[in-house]
């Protein structure tokens, strides 16, 4: 398969060189949660990721909250089909804790250090990897945690 060459830019001083377009995996989380895009077919989501990478995209963006973990699981399924050489950069986010008893309840915004550690470990498990290339705060903390503590 022919891979296109897409324009790239450095991400600040991180050492990462990213294509100017990436693959957003919000919809891959599916429906049944407060900000879901409706039902999705996991195989179609994986096919879409595969197509994006074949076109030269070198990063996938997801978040723990997308599908309440499901998007990261689908991205992880896709990543396991690739060799290390073909793996795109993987970006995910923390800071939104959901209520597993009420999937439609809006997530709580927290950047407590212990919460970030738990979320990161859970994201790594769902992604099935040992690293996250860019780990981002999804939203500001609503409880007053100073940014420097996070």
Active site residues: 66
Q: What is the pLDDT of residues 10-26, one digit of tens each?
A: 999 999 999 999 999 99
Binned at pLDDT 50, 70 and 90, residue 3 comes out as low
Q: What is the DSSP letter of 24?
A: E
Q: What is the pLDDT of residues 102-137, one digit of tens each?
A: 999 999 999 999 999 999 999 999 999 999 999 999
Going from the N-terminus, what domains does the chain have, and what CATH number goes with each? 20-149 (3.20.20.100)
Q: Is the pLDDT of residue 1 over 60?
A: no
In this structure, what are the phi and psi dihedrals at residue 10, rounded to the nearest 5 degrees? Answer: -75, 145
Average pLDDT of span 71-88: 97
The confidence score (pLDDT) of residue 127 equals 98
Q: How far is CA 115 from CA 19, 64, 90, 119, 136, in A?
A: 31, 12, 20, 6, 13
| Contact by Cβ (8 Å): 6, 56 | yes
Stated pTM of the model = 0.94
CA distance 74 to 49: 10
The confidence score (pLDDT) of residue 72 equals 98
Q: Is the pLDDT of residue 2 over 80?
A: no
CA distance 108 to 98: 6
């Amino acid at each position: 398969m022919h891979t296109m060459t897409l324009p790239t830019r450095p991400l600040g001083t991180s050492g990462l060189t990213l294509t100017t377009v990436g693959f957003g995996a919000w919809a891959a989380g599916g429906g049944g949660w407060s900000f879901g895009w409706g039902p999705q077919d996991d195989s179609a989501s994986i096919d879409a990721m595969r197509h994006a990478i074949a076109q030269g995209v070198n990063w996938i963006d997801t978040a723990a909250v997308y599908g309440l973990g499901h998007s990261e699981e689908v991205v992880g399924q896709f990543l396991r089909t690739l060799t290390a050489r073909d793996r795109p950069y993987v970006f995910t986010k923390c800071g939104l804790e959901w209520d597993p008893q009420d999937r439609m309840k809006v997530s709580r915004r927290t950047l407590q250090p212990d919460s970030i550690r738990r979320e990161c470990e859970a994201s790594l498990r769902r992604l099935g990897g040992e690293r996250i290339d860019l780990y981002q705060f999804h939203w500001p903390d609503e409880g007053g945690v100073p940014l420097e503590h996070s």
